[in-house]
């Protein structure tokens, strides 16, 4: 009888590792679109708000607004390539504490995803629009992203959340015995 050889093969399970990326204000849908083009699962919690088209008219239009401003949830099948991910000028960092990125519990996060709508960037006739299931096609945030300076090398890519954002993200965070650090 031959010797049994066991190989340890790490397969990605059905649930990806979810992280919350801090992005430039009003660039959430653009970042989600760019990450989806690279094969990354993304989720932007979106709500519809109605406001006047201009200050001179009474008619209102629906605009897509992220429920957690400057935050995009990204799901990776394995460990993300942080260096290449953070080279994108629109991504400021990843939510975390003390230099460790927070990984989110897929069960709690999918419960949150089930209660909110996901906004997805589409281009309709040259206009940037946000497709929201159940709400239809809404206008994207109107402020355009201008020139963005590059991040300094000595800056920490882990951004610590504060206030309402910290309370909300803490609720869905997975408490790992070994938090995962990010090398800048």
Q: Tell whether 170 is covered by a domain.
A: no
Residue 5: is its pLDDT beyond 60?
no
Task: Find the DSSP H helices in 72-183.
Answer: 82-85, 106-115, 163-172
Is 7 a residue whose pLDDT tops 60?
Answer: no
List phi, psi (to 5°) of 25.
-60, 135
Note whether residue 174 is domain-resident.
no
Q: Are 95 and 168 in contact (CB under 8 A)?
A: no
Residue 134, token pair as written in the block: 């159940």
104 domain residue, yes or no: yes
pLDDT in tens, 58-79: 887 778 888 888 899 999 888 8
pTM of the predicted model as reported, rounded to 2 decimal places: 0.74
Query: Is residue 157 in a domain?
Result: no
Q: What is the pLDDT of residue 10?
A: 35
Number of domains the chain is built from: 1
> Helices then strands (H, E): number in the chain?
4, 13
Residue 153 has a pLDDT of: 54
pLDDT at 122: 79
Whether residue 33 is predicted with pLDDT greater than 70 in this model: the reply is yes
Tell me if 4 is assigned to some domain.
Answer: no
pLDDT in tens, 145-167: 444 445 555 566 777 777 777 77
What pLDDT sits at residue 162? 74
pLDDT tens track for 11-23: 445 668 889 999 9
Q: In terms of residue numbers, what domain contains 57?
A: 17-144
**In-domain check, residue 2:** no
Distance CA 105, CA 169 (A): 11
The whole-chain average pLDDT of the chain stands at 75
Is 9 inside any structural domain? no
pLDDT at 4: 39
Q: What is the pLDDT of residue 129?
A: 76
**CATH number, position 56:** 3.30.70
Q: Is residue 131 part of a domain?
A: yes
pLDDT of residue 181: 55
Torsions phi, psi for 35 (to 5 deg):
-70, -35
């Amino acid at each position: 009888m031959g010797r049994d050889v066991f190989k340890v093969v790490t397969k990605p399970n059905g649930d990806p590792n979810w992280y919350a990326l801090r992005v430039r204000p009003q660039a959430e849908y653009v970042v989600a679109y760019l990450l989806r083009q690279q094969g990354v699962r993304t989720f932007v919690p979106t709500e519809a708000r109605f406001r006047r088209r201009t200050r001179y008219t009474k008619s209102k239009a629906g605009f897509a607004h992220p429920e957690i401003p400057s935050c995009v949830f990204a799901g990776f099948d394995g460990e993300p390539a942080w260096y290449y991910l953070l080279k994108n000028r629109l991504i400021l960092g990843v939510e975390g504490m003390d230099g460790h990125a927070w990984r989110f519990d897929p069960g709690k996060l999918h419960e949150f995803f089930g209660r909110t709508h996901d906004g997805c960037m589409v281009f309709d006739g040259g206009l940037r629009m946000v497709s929201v299931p159940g709400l239809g096609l809404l206008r994207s945030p109107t402020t355009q992203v201008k020139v963005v300076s590059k991040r300094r090398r000595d800056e920490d890519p882990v951004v610590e959340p504060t206030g309402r954002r910290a309370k909300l993200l803490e609720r869905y965070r997975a408490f790992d015995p070994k938090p995962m650090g990010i090398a800048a």
